[in-house]
Amino acid sequence: MSQTVRTRPEGSRRALNEAYDTALLDLDGVVYAGGDAIAHAPESLAVARGAGMGLAYVTNNALRTPDAVAEHLTELGIPTDAADVITSAQAVARLISEQVPDGSRVLVIGGEGLRVALRERGLEPVDSADDEPVAVVQGYGGPDLAWGRFAEACYAIARGVPWFASNTDLTIPSARGIAPGNGAAVEVVRIATGAQPQVAGKPLPPMHRETILRTGAERPLVIGDRLDTDIEGAFNGEVDSLLVLTGVTDGAQLLAAPPQHRPTYVDVDLRGLLTGQPEVVARGDGFACGGWVATAGDERLELEGDGEVIDGLRALCAAAWTAAGDGTCGLDGAKALARLGV
């Protein structure tokens, strides 16, 4: 996929699980939500896997180990090996290992996922700035991470030790709602030190590189629910993407997406992996998909017709993205989206 300005979702005559050799799947909002499997996810992934598609689960959460993630997925009815899980902890551990000698001590501000990933790369996790670490790594440590851990990071960084972060997602979904993510914790250390970390996770290239190295994918399809991590990560890696509407992105955010946040395909859920994708075609002053035609007026987006909701959203994307060009669409799409119920 070239990094030209996308003006409409693409179509595919072939089912996506046949057109691509490996699905690089985000977890929360795509495969599960609040610990429970999302509707149609286990069945869709089983069919894709049975037809020969490789499945890899790619997460910015550095807390859990690949073994723990694989066990959770298997319990949800999605048989998974630890080797099928790629975490930002693994990506940042590789990034550190390329810059420090083998066997170096690394101060860990985070959970077990980071420690396991560092040991895998021949590095020694330590807990204190007084342990003479040669690097500091920060990853999500869960709600019980002690405030004093941030102080240890600050002490080491003030001595000139390089600082790394698994990811900078400001929030993380939980069973009770949206909670502060690793990015919020990184901001605490940044404010206290004035330093900037090297970041590995989505949407940045180290995470994509880690995923390709571990999967060997030649025709990967990134599947996610977030525009600013999953879809932007695919854009940065110059690979195609599928946005599913089972997570955080809503219709208004999708219509307003700047070029780096525009997915190749859009579908309701993971059943879209098993089907072709309808073409969005120019018609008159607008764009048609299924039974819908969307146009960009002077102040708002217009939608006419009837049919599948997702086809109407695809047509609206084409009208909005074309009107926006390489910027952000400022047209009011509320009425059109309300008609679709998204």
State the catalytic residues: 26, 28
Residues 258, 259, 262: CA angle, nearest 5 degrees: 90
Q: At what angle do helices 112-120 and 88-97 cross, to 10 degrees?
A: 40
Identify the CA nearest to 61 among candidates 228, 225, 183, 156. 183
Strands 22-25 and 220-224: parallel
Secondary element (H or E) of residue 251: helix 251-255
d(CA 18, CA 48): 8
Helix axes 182-193, 148-158, angle to 10 degrees: 50
